[in-house]
Structure 1
Amino acid sequence: MMKLPTSLVSLSLASTLISVTPSYADDNDIEIIEITGQHQGISSAVSPESSVPKTDISGLLENLPGAAVNSNGPVTGIAQYRGLFGDRVNTQVNGVSLPGAGPNAMDTPLSYASLINSESLEMTRGIAPVSSGVDTLGGSIKVVESQANFDETSGKVAGQYQDNGQRSHLGAKANVGGQDHALLVYTDILKGQDNITTGGNKEIKPTTYDKTMVGGQYRVNLSHSDSIDESIAIGYQHLETTAAGTPALPMDIDFIRTDRIKVEGEHEINHWDLNWHLAYSDAKHGMDNFSERMKMPTMNARYNSADSTGFDGEISFGKEAWLFGLNTQLSEHNSVISDPTNAMFNVDNFNGVKDNTYSAFAQWQQDIGQWNWQLGARVKHYQTDADEVEHSMAGSMPAIKTLMDRYNDADRSQSQTGLDLVINGRYQVNEQLSWILGLARKQDSASYQQRYLWVPMQSTGGLADGRTYVGQMDLELETAYQLELGTEFTTDKFSISPRIFFNRIDNYIQGVQSSDPAVIMAAQMMGDDNPMQFANVDAQLYGMDVAALYQLADNWKIDMNASYIKGERRDIDDNLYRIAPPKVNLGLNYQNGHWQGRIEGVAVAAQNEVSETQLEATTAGYALMNISAGYNADSWMLKAGVNNLFDTEYEDHLAGYNRVMGGDLASGERMQGIGMNAWVTGEYRF
């Protein structure tokens, strides 16, 4: 049977002999994968099919060392790795990076991953190689999805239910493949029919949602040899989300409607592996502040209509120790705010914003004695531009007219060139012990929100801090100097992999208090006396994460992952915003034949090192207990469990602040975590 590769790395190096040694950490299928020879580094992965139920695949990040998720709602999870989040983290779903429509990241990159069709969520641990993506300053995360396979007829039906919030998921996929043609189809239906409650029996609203995803892939075999993979495939996905709450943001999701198409191919030409793809996205998004939440009589009704188009293209060539590639990522964004009760009100939030990147990379990897070295370089050229904007109240509000005229009269076209350089080394002392060294210089461009948000608003890409911001067109590229040191020690019964890291970032982009009189006056008209402006500052992040496993007995093992991250400004005495607090996850696992069980303790420390600049509130530490048990047969699986067994009440530091009035949580109060949650999940495979 012809087996298809599951990632760009394996596509590019398909002809290279690699050996993989996985060690399974628990019944959630967490893997630490070491690839020797032509390895691309160390990856951690978690499989959704055997994990506890998730409404959004981003929740799986909580099981990986150094990773976390900024949750602004049940289907709005933003990836964080070692304190960096949002656009700084390269996030690929099915090998592509395509833009969402929402200016506040309601449709995050990971929200486009199908639960039923995802094989794993993979994170490059440490410094990401240049081949893993265009912008990897904050690491690289990939959702590996099932591909249409030749000579195979198979399928799966899966479902889950969570009692807290009456959340359910039903998914199905099927593959029909002959020698020359293969077809894969899948669908997901996710519903949250009630608001979730906290450990203190407080209702968090709105946290309902309705999400549907359908897709498929058709693949044609171009090879007549069993030893060579050559094919062309076309894939399609449609996503529809309606009536979904995002309580940490000023609006909720009315709808998200997105169509994506991808054409890809893999070939062998004169012993070179050639891989390419072209992907296109068309996304439309509506959001408002009155359909899912209470609108106070003193508040104005607002509706935001947003859309985006995106293109992602890549071609790579791999032979022996070398890998070369070209990338193009193009996008355009529009966002208009209106008032359903006042036809005259109209604001261009973003108008014709173009955000384009052209890139090329080269990577070399080779064993030299006991060392395996990987060296890479990537050149990136960024081009951004935007059309003129209008505001219906510019005629009656001088401050808004000043900002509008200033923006329209400015040269909005920006052009910058960045360079990434990466050195990753692994020294194999013996079969059990290896040392890890990583050095890098990486650059990243500002997001379109940071550059072109012209009037004080909260369209910030999901910061969820309740502040209003304006952008700055001429922001410099962020430049990071990264260092990682680590080790891996593995025996038959024990393995441990600690890493320490240091990330010094010049021209780090974050909000600072605005001193512009027009900005301050415009913000005061909207009730904010302290507006922010995106600016370049100096920052650094450092810390440690560790993954470990110990086999207690034939049927028992303990796994652990822990992380500590410190993020701070270097230009002033302050901390960075929304940094994950120190955390330890410890699990006791039982496996006997088809039976499995797990008791898990999660301890999260207080986060007192917060950003004073962004008025960030501290959070207290807490501990949770989760239990699960299941039976995994050859063709079916059934598992049940309880999360937050003792119904602990706690504040989730990464979940932002409540923006909804009239509920159990006060407006501006820290978002609380979900209370006791009993669940059941099952699947049938054929």
Structure 2
Amino acid sequence: MSSVLSAGLRRSLLLSTSLLSLPLAAVAFSAASLSSAPASAQTASNLSTIVVEPTRPRAKPRVRATTSSPQRGPVIRDAAVSPPPSAPSSAPISASATTLPGSAAVARSLGTSDSASLITDIPGGAVWGAGGVSSLPALNGVGADRVQVAINSMLISPACPNEMNPPLSFVNPQMIASMRAYLGVAPVSVGGDYIGGKIDVTTAPPQFATGPSLLTTTTVSGFYRSNGNAYGVDARATIANQDTSVTYTGGWARSGNYKAGNGMTVKSTLWEVQNHAVSISRQSAGNLFTLQVGGQFIPYQGYVNQYMDMVENRSMFVNGRYDGVFDWGKLETSAFYHRIRHTMGFIAPDKVSNMPMDTRGTDLGYNIKASVIASDHDLIRIGNETHAYRLDDWWDPVPGSGMMMSPNTFININDGRRTRLGTFVEWERHWNREWTTLFGLRNDVVWMGTGNVQGYSSMYAADAARFNGRDRDRTDVNFDGSALIRYEPNAISQFELGFARKTRSPNLYERYTWSNTAMAMKMIGWFGDGNGYVGNVDLNPEKAHTVSFTAAWHDPAQKLWEVRVTPYYSYVQDYIDVNRCFVAGSSTCNAANLTKTNAFVFLQFANHDAELYGVNLDGRLTAWDNSAYGRGVLRGQFAYVHGQRTDGINLYHVMPVNAKLGLDHELGGWVNGIELQLVGAKTQVSQVHNETKTSAYALLNLRTGYRWENVRLDVGVDNVFDKFYYLPLGGADLVDFRAASMMGGSSPIWGYGVPGIGRSFNTRLTVSF
């Protein structure tokens, strides 16, 4: 993209998206000024935009009531093309959004226990390599905190300096009933405090008996994967009458180190996890109440691209939700509490040392949304939410380690606080059958702060004193806006143009990590690149100005074929990237650190302007459908994204061009599939991170399954030809390639990526009764 064209596009986009938030700015600033003190605490591809909602009892007719007869089971409606529903949706779907049903999660669970990997079945979706069940999702070139994840409306913040416990690690794939991803331009009612995308996950929607008899259902599933000798069990059980339902869902799984395509064992890739949840739901006269409690236990999880491993992660949560349907519209409220106790260390024999690192994090919040039917053509959504987060991060002293790690406790984050208060209003209008518009404004105020810190010894005193002497309280007043214009000229085509301004404030680690010593800096960072990081109190929030256009075509019934293409462009002001650090007199942040090109380096978080642009494409075609040969569906997806700072530095961890081609076949009880995954060479790498390049590769995956009444057996082979390849977003291998260190022991060698998993024979047996 030429510099003249790029600059002109940026100016136009900045003007357009900034105008979206101006009407709300004055009100929000007035409200913020009334606060005398900051609050304390924190913060198989489904191609059509289809929402699956369980049928709920309705006590009395509402505006525009339909005359269709009641249905049992799920009600499926196309949110992109249907007129305003009688029970208005609180979450409008843009044409670029995608919903993956629970069946996709079940299919994916044959080959992985990492729920984040589901996002790779969406064009534009990718994952940053991490632990075996803790990958970080990325959408349209940005990942980690820039993609917000909600589990049953519950927001979970990173409680680890390496983000080893991301939100999607708290649900097993088999627990997922649906996953909805919003890419690019998302309505403001979807949420705030993100710039890349939003992922909404729903688990275990309640089931109720349709008659006076008691409803009982149980499903138990066990799996085995040859690569890594992975095995585990999942279960779900429900007991319900016509108005009350109790459901358990959960599972346990473990794996050893996996092998790459050349037979090499990739060290520090072992893991064990269990997640459990119990939900109690009650429905009455158009109201649905749900209370869910649960928790997680991970006794160990290796990280080949980090210096540390997870040696324990415990969490518990309580999540309550109310959905009500009234004559005037729909009301949704939720409240949650989530607590994490996390410990990092070393898992022998791949990593041998002693350095305990502990974290305690608490998330607390609520969400209120109302969808009001203003007229036969207008729907107004209003809402308010609060997300409060507290974090303590400390590293106990190691006896006999000298001044490096004793005699004091290293306080990394002391009483970290991040509180966000968000409010939005949104107007959806169906002008006629062809035209629909959606406009929304949003304000999020974020208050952040932290207490004093200390190091292990006097060698950390200067950094601690510099940090403690600063005013560390920060208040960010953020404004978002979105505008969608949808045109459906006929029954086979749809076009949507969208503009959005999205804002994200820094997380606690980006703002408040403080030490410039080499050892401490290497403990910070969720990038998996072997580099060291330090925070920056003066970071500004990121502001993404995005424009996207989606064109979709399909057969009138949307059953035989469809194709969708979405080009997009995003200009991000104050993108939170990094600079090479330099501190006079420092042995770490020195002059040599500024110029190294083939070594691990030390970095400080810093704001830079950046731009991303790309295109997503997906489609499917029913190749045949008859009684003799069953039904065969061809599917495909393609994604390209380019990300670069305006000073010419490439953004880190941007997925290279990639595609998937598949054929799914059903015949009676048989379900079969073949998939080809294509990934281009990663040549656009971040110069400041010293990111390594990776080669192109292709993988072939096969699966088949058969159902006998209540029993189903699935078998598959991933990476059929045992291809050796490096993960383009896997980061640096810090364990398998090491050299003797001047201080004794060994240290990782720069320049080696993380190999992907080799061939694996997978099987799963599921029994329902």
Instruction: Tell me the equivalent position of 1:510.
Output: 577
Q: What are the superposed Cα offsets for residues 211-268 of structure 1, whole Å, 9 maximum, x if unpaired? A: 11221011233x2x4xx2x132211111000121111111001000000111221234
Q: 1:473 to 1:139 in 2, by over 3 A?
A: same
Equivalent residue in structure 1 for 2:279, among 206, 211, 217? 217
CA contact (8 A) 1:243 1:254 kept: yes
Q: 1:94 to 1:467 in 2, by over 3 A?
A: same
Instruction: Tell me the equivalent position of 1:326.
Output: 384
Distance 1:569 1:59 in 2: 27
- Please state if 1:494 is matched with 2:561: yes
User: Which secondary structure does the structure 2 equivalent of 1:37 belong to?
Assistant: coil
Distance 1:252 1:130 in 2: 37
- Please state if 1:162 is matched with 2:225: yes
TM-score, normalised relative to structure 2: 0.81
Equivalent residue in structure 2 for 1:443, among 503, 521, 526? 503
Alignment of 1:354-433 (within 5 A): 354-369=417-432, 370-393=434-457, 395=458, 397=459, 400-433=460-493
Instruction: Tell me the equivalent position of 1:589.
Output: 664
Instruction: Tell me the equivalent position of 1:10.
Output: none
Q: What are the superposed Cα offsets for residues 21-53 of structure 1, whole Å, 9 maximum, x if unpaired? A: xxxxxxxxxx99745334522332332123333
Instruction: Tell me the equivalent position of 2:628.
Output: none
Q: 1:16 to 1:437 in 2, by over 3 A?
A: farther
Distance 1:520 1:218 in 2: 57
Instruction: Tell me the equivalent position of 1:111.
Output: 169
Instruction: Tell me the equivalent position of 1:22.
Output: none
User: Which secondary structure does the structure 1 equivalent of 2:154 belong to?
Assistant: coil
Equivalent residue in structure 1 for 2:238, among 175, 182, 187? 175
Q: What are the superposed Cα offsets for residues 123-177 of structure 1, whole Å, 9 maximum, x if unpaired? A: 1244121111222411111111113333243221112211000111201111111
Greater strand percent: which structure? 1
- Please state if 1:45 is matched with 2:99: yes
User: What is the CA-CA distance between 1:66 and the residue it aligns to?
Assistant: 0.5
CA contact (8 A) 1:468 1:523 kept: no
Q: 1:305 to 1:420 in 2, by over 3 A?
A: same
Distance 1:487 1:16 in 2: 30
User: What is the CA-CA distance between 1:482 and the residue it aligns to?
Assistant: 0.2
The more displaced of 628-637 and 315-324 is 628-637
Instruction: Tell me the equivalent position of 2:35.
Output: none
Distance 1:191 1:674 in 2: 16
Equivalent residue in structure 1 for 2:130, among 47, 64, 72? 72
User: What is the CA-CA distance between 1:557 and the residue it aligns to?
Assistant: 2.1
User: What is the CA-CA distance between 1:508 and the residue it aligns to?
Assistant: 0.4
CA contact (8 A) 1:547 1:560 kept: yes
Q: 1:519 to 1:6 in 2, by over 3 A?
A: farther
CA contact (8 A) 2:588 2:602 kept: no
User: What is the CA-CA distance between 1:69 and the residue it aligns to?
Assistant: 0.7
User: What is the CA-CA distance between 1:367 and the residue it aligns to?
Assistant: 1.1
CA contact (8 A) 1:100 1:283 kept: no
Q: Percent identity?
A: 23
Distance 1:371 1:443 in 2: 29
Instruction: Tell me the equivalent position of 2:202.
Output: 144
CA contact (8 A) 2:171 2:275 kept: no
Equivalent residue in structure 2 for 1:132, among 190, 203, 208? 190
TM-score, normalised relative to structure 1: 0.90
Q: 1:388 to 1:292 in 2, by over 3 A?
A: farther
For structure 2, list consecutive stretches of 5 or more residues without a partner in the other structure: 1-50, 56-61, 68-76, 85-91, 210-214, 374-378, 401-405, 626-630, 740-746
Q: 1:603 to 1:346 in 2, by over 3 A?
A: same
Q: What are the superposed Cα offsets for residues 451-492 of structure 1, whole Å, 9 maximum, x if unpaired? A: 001114145451111111111112111111100012001125
Q: What are the superposed Cα offsets for residues 524-556 of structure 1, whole Å, 9 maximum, x if unpaired? A: 999998421111101000000101112222222
- Please state if 1:616 is matched with 2:691: yes
Instruction: Tell me the equivalent position of 2:59.
Output: none
User: What is the CA-CA distance between 1:293 and the residue it aligns to?
Assistant: 2.6
Distance 1:654 1:33 in 2: 33
Equivalent residue in structure 2 for 1:235, among 282, 286, 292? 292
The more displaced of 111-120 and 274-283 is 111-120
CA contact (8 A) 2:140 2:183 kept: no
Q: 1:246 to 1:523 in 2, by over 3 A?
A: farther
Q: 1:475 to 1:255 in 2, by over 3 A?
A: same
Q: 1:566 to 1:90 in 2, by over 3 A?
A: same
CA contact (8 A) 2:311 2:346 kept: no
Equivalent residue in structure 1 for 2:323, among 237, 261, 266? 266
CA contact (8 A) 1:113 1:143 kept: no
User: What is the CA-CA distance between 1:685 and the residue it aligns to?
Assistant: 2.4
Q: 1:525 to 1:498 in 2, by over 3 A?
A: closer
User: What is the CA-CA distance between 1:290 and the residue it aligns to?
Assistant: 5.1
CA contact (8 A) 1:53 1:681 kept: no
- Please state if 1:543 is matched with 2:614: yes
User: Which secondary structure does the structure 1 equivalent of 2:648 belong to?
Assistant: coil
- Please state if 1:475 is matched with 2:539: yes
Q: What are the superposed Cα offsets for residues 601-642 of structure 1, whole Å, 9 maximum, x if unpaired? A: 111000101110111111110111111111135533211111
User: What is the CA-CA distance between 1:447 and the residue it aligns to?
Assistant: 1.3
Equivalent residue in structure 2 for 1:310, among 356, 363, 369? 363
Residue identity matched to 2:198: S
Instruction: Tell me the equivalent position of 1:23.
Output: none
CA RMSD of aligned residues (A): 2.7
Instruction: Tell me the equivalent position of 1:567.
Output: 643
Alignment of 1:277-288 (within 5 A): 277-288=334-345
Distance 1:90 1:132 in 2: 10
Distance 1:508 1:130 in 2: 20
Q: What are the superposed Cα offsets for residues 417-450 of structure 1, whole Å, 9 maximum, x if unpaired? A: 0011001121102100111111011111111111
Equivalent residue in structure 1 for 2:673, among 582, 591, 598? 598
CA contact (8 A) 2:192 2:503 kept: no
Distance 2:709 2:280 in 1: 27
CA contact (8 A) 1:206 1:292 kept: no
CA contact (8 A) 2:131 2:302 kept: yes
